[in-house]
A and B are shown apart, each in its own frame.
Chain A
Amino acid sequence: MILLKGVSKSYGDVLALNQITLQVMRGEIYGLIGPNGAGKTTTIKLLVGLLRPSSGQVFVNGFDVQKDGLAAKRELGYIPDEPFLYGRLTPLELMDFKGSLHDMVRNDLERRKEELLQLVGLLDHRHDLIESFSLGMRQRLAISVALLPDPSIIVVDEPLVGLDPVGMRRVKEILVELARKGRTIFISTHMLHVVEEIADRVGVLNKGTLVAEGALAALRRAQDERLESIFFRLFSEEIK
């Protein structure tokens, strides 16, 4: 379970997030959408402990990310929007390193490595240096690294950046499958159709404020209204 309680974040004089409160339940896929600069990546970085909130609290499965960071991080798997990875390591070495940070048992680690590299289609590249990978390959590797310790919560920032159509479909299937197994998924993206396809609930962020939140059905005015229309309706004033 994810819980953000009155979270604000300022960068100097700029207020990036303003009193955000939201909750994501176990097994749920939550999509966070919003225009550029709305505060999506800031929210995600606060959630995974890469940033500290200026005020408010972030809880992951009941653990306060600031006060009990290690326990919280044990529950989390994070896939960033820009998959910066150690370029001079191979995927296997990177996964060994990640596994050691999670104190994974050797047998488990070996099994998971093969399994996940197979899952994201990188098994043939397991001995190649990451520096020679394309953006899509790095993104797939970042996904496998995040899933390595089998986290109960997966936080994804722009999950489909750099992926080809086959890769996109595969990642969506993986996320849905994980949610079905009881994992909590928190996605931030510009791609409204992805959220529409897989998210159970949606949060709409604008200028650091959560302007709308709820199940997709609740946000719709008409039964067949698309998320894109909802998005433009919510931001119509701004677009004008």
Chain B
Amino acid sequence: MSHLLQYFGFRFKMVRHGLAARRTQIAKGAILPFFFLCVGVFMFVFLFKAFCFFQSFDLVGEILIGKLLALIFFIFFIFLVLSNINGVIKWFLTNEDLPFLLTNPVSTSTIFFARSIEAFLESSWAFLFFSIPVLLAYYTALFKFKLAFLLSILLLLPYALIPYGIGFTVVMVLARFLSPKVIKRAFSFLFVLLSAVLVITFRAMEIEKLARPESFAYVYDYMRYLSIPAHPLLPTHLFIAVVVFLGKGGPSNIIIDLGLFLSSAAALVTLAYWISEGFYLRSYTNALVSSRTVKSDLMGRLLRFIPAGTRFLVLKEVKNLKRDPKEWSQVLLIFALIFVYVYNFKSFPRDRTALPTVFLESLLSFLNMGLLTFVIGAVSVRFVYPSFQLEGKPFWLVLTSPVDLRDIYYRKLAFYVALSLAFALTLNSLSNHFIASPPFLYCLSFGYVILVAVICPVIAFYFGTKYMNLREPPNPYGGLGGILTMLAIICFSLLTLVALGWSSYAILVRNLTGLRLSTAVLVEFGVTCGIVLGASLAGIHVMRLKTIRQLRKIEL
């Protein structure tokens, strides 16, 4: 116990010194907590409204609320398992201070408890934080705020301990045969695959049908539609049973459910402890040795038509992406999002709306353009923004070579603009097909999307190099620079779409009423397009110059 206290005493000092060193960046550091707080508030408001809405349904309202709650905590559970697997790999197998720790006379149980607390907190803080607005919204909607809410908060801890126990056991057992990198890759891939399947399945279920019970022929069909796979012994099921009981009372077997739930958490932590005592040191020894061989260079042969300077840079980017499932598995998730995006437009009930069709088509086209910008912007923040940051310390190789950083920038930009264009044009073509946009709006969205596909990587590179620190690993969420990139892209989209919408309104009305297009209307539209294009090109030019200047200032 004294070792444990000493360990956390040192850890606390490290955190304190770290904070003292970053005292000048307090304002910057406060932005992310504020952002998370805003997300929490948004979640509360959204879920509160949803719970109140479902409650208004007779008979099925409570079932719907229970299903929604179960779904949210089931998704949290899956995230927690993967997050804990990553946390355990980091804190128990790959952290740089492990050789120091393990060569001192510290017992395995002390290391288990000390590292478990750190791995658990790092992996589960987001769950603990974002579960609060969910539970708060649930109990507020049921007018059972105080005691039930506080008791349910206490249940979050055993709920989060269950995936920790699972994650720890899985990692320690697998680490006896596989390297931590392989485990991490395999689970990252499985996780993203599962997320993609979940997203597609969830969307293909057409959940919006639940709000239209009249679309079902029989009550039985409707009830069957509500069923979500569950098992009475699943921790999610037990947790929700207790939460729902605290909210509105219910079956008398709640003591058994609560007992099963708490004992599951205790049993998994105990199992993790036993596994640690028996396996940890052998797993760590295995983690120290690993190698991977790559012989095929199919990609290199395929890209032979690109000039060597650009080709090897592109190959480096692609191979880095390909060999890191954390990165490329997210491409899979993007495809799932594309599916959902296109499916939303495909299943949009245009025939059920009272708005005139042409007006609706125009509205949908502009909505599509705005959403497309958001999607391309988000993809740019995830993949383009950290591109230079990902170079990291090995960037000395480029900096000491006889190549102008302007050329490196242009090569990277060309690569990402090509990908962005392919992605944007595919999405635009598919969504316009399902919206059945009129030719004028189709052409307009086509031009707009090309502009967006170029400007998003330019903005992402600008902020990516402005907030770049090659000595530190990239922040997967983009950090402050990522948020600013997204804000800049949204501002650009809003201004451009308002300008285009305003100037094309007269053309659309004339198309609708069959009036002839006057020269003044066409000139006005042409001038607006010219201003939008000119302003965008000027923005691209300025950001391009500033990015190159930022790159040339790098010292490593």
CA distance A89 to B315 in the complex (A): 10
- Which residues of A37-85 are within 8 A (CB) of B? 45, 48-52, 69-71, 73-74, 76, 78, 80, 82, 84-85
Complex contact B290–A132 (CB within 8 A): yes
Complex contact B294–A73 (CB within 8 A): no
Question: Digit string of B286-320 for contact with A (CB within 8 Å is 1, else 0)?
Answer: 00001111110100100000001101110110011
Complex contact B400–A78 (CB within 8 A): yes
Complex contact A85–B394 (CB within 8 A): yes
* Contact partners of B394 in chain A: CB under 8 A: 84-87
CA distance A84 to B392 in the complex (A): 9
Is residue B404 within 8 Å, beta carbon to beta carbon, of the partner chain?
Answer: yes
Given A50-B556, A97-B312, A100-B309: A84 and B401 within 8 A (CB)?
Answer: no
CA distance A76 to B309 in the complex (A): 19
Complex contact A82–B312 (CB within 8 A): no
Is residue B209 within 8 Å, beta carbon to beta carbon, of the partner chain?
Answer: no
Given A80-B396, A86-B320: A102 and B401 within 8 A (CB)?
Answer: yes
Q: Which of A49, A73, A132 contacts B292 (CB 8 A)?
A: A132
- Which residues of A95-146 are within 8 A (CB) of B? 96-103, 106, 127-129, 131-132, 145
Complex contact A50–B555 (CB within 8 A): yes
The 5 closest A-B pairs by CB, nearest first: A84-B393, A132-B291, A101-B401, A100-B312, A74-B402
Complex contact A93–B315 (CB within 8 A): yes
Q: Which of A51, A88, A101 contacts B320 (CB 8 A)?
A: A88
Q: Which residues of B contact A (CB under 8 A)?
A: 181, 290-295, 297, 300, 308-309, 311-313, 315-316, 319-320, 323-324, 392-394, 396-404, 555-556
Is residue A90 within 8 Å, beta carbon to beta carbon, of the partner chain?
Answer: yes
Residue ID in chain B nearest A97 by CB atoms: B312
CA distance A203 to B394 in the complex (A): 28
Complex contact B396–A127 (CB within 8 A): no
Q: A49-B400, A70-B404, A101-B402 are in contact. List 6 more A-B contacts (CB 8 A).
A: A45-B556, A74-B402, A84-B393, A98-B397, A101-B398, A131-B292
Complex contact B397–A145 (CB within 8 A): yes
Question: How many A residues, CB 8 Å from partner?
Answer: 39
* Contact partners of B324 in chain A: CB under 8 A: 88
CA distance A58 to B404 in the complex (A): 19
Q: Which of B308, B309, B402, B403 has the most CB of A within 10 A?
A: B402
Q: Which of A90, A101, A103 contacts B294 (CB 8 A)?
A: A90
Residue ID in chain A nearest B321 by CB atoms: A88
Complex contact B319–A101 (CB within 8 A): no
Complex contact B320–A78 (CB within 8 A): no
Nearest chain A CB to B93 CB, angstrom units: 15
Given A89-B319, A97-B316: A73 and B295 within 8 A (CB)?
Answer: no
Given A50-B556, A73-B402, A101-B402: A82 and B393 within 8 A (CB)?
Answer: yes
CA distance A197 to B1 in the complex (A): 54
Residue ID in chain A nearest B324 by CB atoms: A88
CA distance A106 to B403 in the complex (A): 17
Q: Which of B312, B393, B396, B403 contacts A96 (CB 8 A)?
A: B312
Nearest chain A CB to B555 CB, angstrom units: 5
* Contact partners of A106 in chain B: CB under 8 A: 308
CA distance A99 to B311 in the complex (A): 12
Residue ID in chain A nearest B296 by CB atoms: A127
Q: Which of B300, B315, B398, B399 has the most CB of A within 10 A?
A: B399
* Contact partners of B308 in chain A: CB under 8 A: 100, 103, 106
* Contact partners of A102 in chain B: CB under 8 A: 401-403
* Contact partners of A94 in chain B: CB under 8 A: 397
* Contact partners of B290 in chain A: CB under 8 A: 132
CA distance A132 to B312 in the complex (A): 22
CA distance A8 to B316 in the complex (A): 36
* Contact partners of A84 in chain B: CB under 8 A: 392-394, 396
Complex contact B293–A52 (CB within 8 A): no
